[in-house]
Chains A and B, each alone.
Chain A
Amino acid sequence: MARLNDDAQWIILMGFLISFSFFFLALIINQSTVVGQTTAESVIEFPKNDIRDLVGVITTNTSRSNTTVVNSDITVISLHRKNAVVRYSLIQPNPPVDLHSYASIHYNNGVTTYYENWTSL
């Protein structure tokens, strides 16, 4: 008797496998959007330029007189313009012994808290 030729059943089997793998891929892709969003957000949120500006201002003002006024000005301006709480302290060079100035800088804008110990060259 003539039997059905079932040599090509593997095609249907492969079809099943491929559709299941698509299903799992979709699951993974669905997750990846969330991961991408949060990662990108945290990169954008980091106040890189604000911190650079602040460190720049502080380190160029090490030799100014009346440091208390400069200090409070910088604090107020950062709070007003950059929306960040800033505090720093400066140690002036002590020429014969030590030629470096030192600054310890604290920065906090509610998302990022940052500390830096800076030493002049």
Chain B
Amino acid sequence: MAALVTMRINDKGVSEAIGFMLIFGMVIVGIGLVTLYGYPLLLQQQVSADEKIMEKNMIVLQNDIKSLAYKAVPFKETSLKIGGGSLTVYDSSYSTPSSTIEINDNGNNPYIPPFTPGELRYESMSAQTDIALQNGAVVLRRHVEPGSVMLAEPRWFFDSATNTVVFNLIKITSDTIMSKEGIGTVQMRLVGEPSYSAAPPIPNGQAIKLVYTPTPSGGRQDYSVAWDNYIIKTFDNPPYISMTKSGGPPGSGTPVTYTLTNNGSSDMTLVIKIFEVNIKSL
């Protein structure tokens, strides 16, 4: 008995109330930290996950359009989840188009009427970002910044072996105004035969002029920086084509003219194909 008494710890300072307050305080601080820092972080994660998912979804839709246009598939359908914003289809004849493309010859005579592609656009309310599928490309733009970036490229190309420039323009149309949030099915079909025009050969020293006019409002839908980078990357082939750029700068809402001058020994062939994709439902 005596041995046990000497072994006991002195617990005169132990208070149940203080212990309770310590533990309770720790719990409250823990909850507070999670609410103030953890929860917003989780929300942010959710928003950026939604955005990433939509980026992938738009690339899936772009693949659908590729199948319609280049592989002669008549109809395509894709189910997808649209989170954190809405997916809207803008007809090619929409009054403030995000871009107008003109392709002119050396003397500024147009090869085709001014082309407005129309688009499928995802507008994220929470991430303040727009992702648009326009003219066969997927482009992304943050609302607050003048710049934009191309996530997936369209199929415009220059073939140096045959000195051929090919523009594949894709027009998106819809019979009604449609918008979707949540889970939806995008149905699209190819309308008619693609319109195909082979211009007369362009001799050495002559040029093609590509005019890219961004949205007249100069607002959030100006994707000219992304297109500028793409056009330069695709068509600036020094030994064959010498390219000069006038107007702009991209991102300022003003038209940019790209002059592609034939520097090759043979005549340059210009091919413009216009595909019309009709969005049946969202």
Contacts and interface: CB of A to CB of B under 8 A. Distances in A.
The list of the 10 closest CB pairs from A to B, nearest first, reads A110-B157, A110-B155, A85-B159, A108-B159, A83-B70, A85-B164, A87-B162, A106-B161, A85-B162, A80-B196
A79 interface: yes
17 contacts: A37-B56, A79-B198, A80-B194, A80-B196, A81-B72, A83-B70, A83-B155, A85-B166, A85-B271, A87-B161, A106-B162, A108-B161, A109-B155, A110-B155, A110-B157, A111-B155, A113-B159
A85 B268 CA distance: 13
B54 to A, nearest CB: 15
A37 B157 CA distance: 24
Contacts of B7: 1
A7 interface: no
Contacts of B56: 37
A110 B234 CA distance: 10
Contacts of B155: 83, 109-111
B241 to A, nearest CB: 15
A33 B168 CA distance: 30
A41 interface: yes
B63 interface: yes
Interface string A39-80: 001000000000000000000000000000000000010011
A83 B162 contact: no
Given A41-B63, A83-B155, 4 more contacts: A85-B164, A110-B157, A110-B166, A110-B168
A1 B157 CA distance: 85
A108 B157 contact: yes
A108 B156 CA distance: 11
Interface string B145-181: 0000000000111010110101010000000000000
Nearest to A87: B162
Query: Which of B7, B56, B72, B162 has the most A CB atoms < 10 Å from its CB?
Result: B162
Contacts of A79: 196, 198, 271
Interface string A87-121: 10000000000000000001011110100000000
B281 to A, nearest CB: 25
A110 B63 contact: no
Contacts of A85: 159, 162, 164, 166, 271
